Amino acid sequence: MSQAPTGTGVRTGADGLSRCPWPYSGGPDYLDYHDREWGYPVRSERGLFERLSLEAFQSGLSWLTILRKRPGFRAAFADFEPDRVAAFDEQDVQRLLGDASIVRNKRKILATVTNARATVALRGQGGLASLFWSASPPAGPRPARMTEVPAHTPESAALAADLKRAGFAHLGPTTLYAAMQACGVVDDHLRGCFRASSGPEA
Q: How do residues 77-105 score in pLDDT, each as one tens digit?
A: 999 999 999 999 999 999 999 999 999 99
Give yes or no: 63 in active site: yes
Q: Single out the catalytic residue among 33, 38, 133, 177.
A: 33
pLDDT of residue 140: 87
Q: Which residues contact 22 (CB under 8 A, 6 or more apart)?
A: 1, 5, 7, 30, 34, 146
> Does 159 have pLDDT greater than 90?
yes
Q: What is the mean pLDDT of residues 48-73?
A: 96
Confidence band for 197, pLDDT divided at 50, 70 and 90: low
CA distance 64 to 45: 24
CA distance 71 to 89: 22
Q: Single out the catalytic residue among 22, 30, 50, 55.
A: 55
Confidence band for 2, pLDDT divided at 50, 70 and 90: very low
Q: Mean pLDDT over all residues of the chain?
A: 93
What pTM did the predictor assign? Answer: 0.92
Q: Single out the catalytic residue among 22, 30, 38, 63.
A: 63
Instruction: Establish how many alpha carbons lie within 13 A of residue 6's alpha carbon, considering only the half-sphere containing its beta carbon.
Output: 1
Give yes or no: 33 in active site: yes
Task: Give me the domains of the chain, ranges plus CATH numbers.
Answer: 11-182 (1.10.340.30)
Give yes or no: 201 in active site: no
pLDDT of residue 200: 40
> Does 127 have pLDDT greater than 60?
yes
